[in-house]
Structure 1
Amino acid sequence: MVASGSTRFPFCFPLLILGLFTSVNGLLELRTIDDAAGDSADPNVKPVFLPDGTWSQRPNPCSGCNLNPNAELAFNRTWHDTTHMESDPTSSVQLSFTGIALSVFCILPPKTAQAITPYDLTFILDGQPVGPPFTRTTDQLTDSYQYNVTVFSMNDLQNKKHTFIMQMANKTISTVALFDYASYIYNDQGIISEETGKKLNLGAILGGVLGAIAFLAGAAFLFLYARRRRTEVRILQGAQADPFDSVSVTRTEPLPNKHRRNESLPSSPCPAPGSSTLDTEKGPPPAYSQ
């Protein structure tokens, strides 16, 4: 039983450590911002479409809409689209999020559609132009709709609240955009507060707590393992010191004769006739008269 117990316990300890590391890695969370449902972490935070009234939420019926993707293939079965003419004011989608990476996804129309199909998107992050523009001419499109197309992606962002704008501002050609959704990576370690400009070191605090738990678990494991080993060694040494503990042995030496009082007495119990030897057991012989 000792061997069985000592075999199971070491396998439990790595599982405990794995659980601790899993908890730490779980601090990174992938979140989405749907065009209609909003932020997966807070549905009250939704994309802002400008100018008002120029974007259509689909697949709701749309008069004059000639681009009709399959809603079953769109994220959450919805998207927003708009057509930007050369003379129109800038059209845009604004997203707010707190995270360290961002990706934006659109649906591309087929080049055979009887509609305006070119793409020309530019991007602004926290008030600064970022990334290369995303452009597609009609000839660069395919014969069918393309879903989950990445039009913008950026990593290694500061861990703070960001404002992202995807805009259409081409003044020479008419363009289209079908915004589907965005995704970002949220990390609750070292978030920079806008009020103080300082990091909230939640990760450092949690890391210290998990480190202490791991240390105590390791110490407990070593203590129990050492105690079990000492018990096994004592049992083994006891078995080696008394190898015949369970074996029955028959004695062959004669037992001492408790009735022999004097080793010099004759072996014959009766004296010879005429002998004067006294029988000490019975007293002196009787006297005879002549």
Structure 2
Amino acid sequence: MSFLLIVCTGSALTKLVNVTIDDTNGDERTGVLPTYTVDPASQRDGWHPSDKGKPCSVCNANVDGSRTHDQTWHDGTAWAGERPANVTLSFSGITIYVYAILRNTGPERPTRLTFYLDDMLADTYVHEQDASLGAFQYDQLVFSTKTNLRHGQHTLVVSNTQTSKQDSTFLFDYAVYTHDDAAEGSGVTSTEGSDPTSSTIRQTVDPSNVAVPVNVDHHSASSKTGVIVGAALGGAAFLVLLALGIVLLWNRRRGGGRAMATVTTPTPTPVRFDYSSSQFVVSPANSGRAKQFGSAEARMRLANPPPYEHEFPTWDSSTSYPTSSQTGNSVIGVNMSSALGERR
């Protein structure tokens, strides 16, 4: 029962929302911008910000800006023989997804990416150009967390990784992370993370050893927000109804158990006297303990039995009861030894 209440309470306090990090405008919740870095020794530009109204004039990728998120994107190239060109994303949440524009025409430059989450290698991605898929593929998922992270601050470094003989092109569009608004004020913190500048330089990856994941289709960030929020609310409502049903069933069974366990204490059977003779009658449970009394006065003294069965008290046999002159009875001095008779 306590477990169900905890689960229901936890579900009610959870409010998951999707937050977008645009390549140019940054985090829509915090305003934090992505950080772009290149090989300090490079003599060529590694990153070119672009938008629909002002596309990159020196880039080979003629992207349709109307099909990008917020109509902006970053064109990045990691040149052969140089060190990687990185983009660093900081976020507070439990999952993150990275979306890119994949190019299939122009100079032969595949997209070769390496991902570091909280300064640990998380995944790799390679896309080879394929003209049959069209000049560009938009809203392509290139990275997602495999499991939920601990809610708190995290850092993701996307490293555009070239080889010694081949360039790598990365057209970064946006990222989406899942944030728990209810946990924002609960004091949940994380000691994980890394300094973005510490992840600037990465080792190159041999493309022959890099696995190519299958492209995953997806909906827009706004539709994913509705799906996650709806699922969370539906799950919370289901758990509440389940808990109420179990409580009602448990109370009903508990009430039946109590009725069966009730024990009724029998009422003691009082001693019944027959005043028409020198004998009095008792119930079978008390038979064997009753004695004959030879006087009405002795019978009257035991007319009101105690509320439970016990042995009669013992009197001194030398003590005599009052005479008839004192009580008005016709009996002259009834002695306890004659009234009670032989007890043994």
Superposition TM-score tier, normalisation by shorter sequence:
0.5 to 0.7
Alignment correspondent of 2:16: 28
Alignment correspondent of 1:158: 150
Alignment correspondent of 1:102: 96
Quick one: distance in 1 between partners of 2:176 and 2:132?
24
Quick one: distance in 1 between partners of 2:111 and 2:73?
16
Alignment correspondent of 1:91: 85
Quick one: distance in 1 between partners of 2:119 and 2:156?
8
Kindly report the root-mean-square deviation, in angstroms, between the aligned alpha carbons of the 2 structures. 2.9
* Conservation of the 8 A alpha-carbon contact between 2:103 and 2:129: no
Shift of residue 27, structure 1, vs aligned partner: 1.2
Encode CA deviations 1:34-69: one digit per residue, 9 max, x unaligned.
Answer: 0011001012x0100112852111133433212111
Shift of residue 174, structure 1, vs aligned partner: 1.1
* Conservation of the 8 A alpha-carbon contact between 2:151 and 2:188: yes
How does the TM-score come out when normalised to structure 2?
0.46
**Corresponding letter in the other structure for 2:167:** S
- Is 2:106 the counterpart of 1:118? no
Shift of residue 191, structure 1, vs aligned partner: 5.9
* Conservation of the 8 A alpha-carbon contact between 2:99 and 2:175: yes
* Conservation of the 8 A alpha-carbon contact between 2:113 and 2:125: yes
Where do 5+ consecutive residues of structure 1 fail to align? 1-19, 196-213, 219-290
* Conservation of the 8 A alpha-carbon contact between 1:91 and 1:167: yes
Shift of residue 26, structure 1, vs aligned partner: 6.4
- Judging changes above 3 Å, is the alpha-carbon distance between structure 1 residues 85 and 42 closer, same or farther for their aligned structure 2 residues? same
Alignment correspondent of 1:193: 189
Larger Rg: 1
Name which of 36, 41, 50 aligns with 1:49.
36
* Conservation of the 8 A alpha-carbon contact between 1:118 and 1:138: yes
Q: How does 1:129-278 map to 2 (within 5 A)?
A: 129-131=121-123, 133-139=124-130, 142-154=133-145, 155-171=147-163, 172-187=165-180, 188-189=182-183, 192-194=188-190
Where do 5+ consecutive residues of structure 2 fail to align? 1-7, 192-239, 245-344
Encode CA deviations 1:114-147: one digit per residue, 9 max, x unaligned.
Answer: 234311101000010002x110112487223111
How does the TM-score come out when normalised to structure 1?
0.54
* Conservation of the 8 A alpha-carbon contact between 2:109 and 2:166: no
Shift of residue 95, structure 1, vs aligned partner: 0.2
* Conservation of the 8 A alpha-carbon contact between 2:37 and 2:85: yes
* Conservation of the 8 A alpha-carbon contact between 1:91 and 1:169: yes
